[in-house]
Amino acid sequence: VVPPTPLESPEEAVSLLHLLRADRDVCLAEFNLLNCEIVQCTARIQYYTHQAEKVRKRIEHAEHAIGHGWMVITRSGYLYEATVGCSHC
């Protein structure tokens, strides 16, 4: 914010300098806030990545259980009865 005309007094010059510094301080605050938001987003990504890894392990265990169950059913001779009406088999 620079006035279009020459300054008329030292007080006006000081006031303008205070205004320019205040504008700069607002820009610095915005910059710091954005950096804080970047840190927050990075932490959120790390947290969700950890949560996804836990769920991936649960999926692996569930798939292993399905495979084991399928093997038990196949060996028991009840394969036909177990698959009747099952949309996944």
- Rounded Cα–Cα distance for residues 59 and 7 (Å): 72
Q: Is the pLDDT of residue 40 over 90?
A: yes
Q: What is the pTM of this model?
A: 0.60
**Portion of the chain with pLDDT greater than 70, in percent:** 82
Q: Is the pLDDT of residue 82 over 60?
A: no
Mean per-residue pLDDT over the chain, rounded: 88
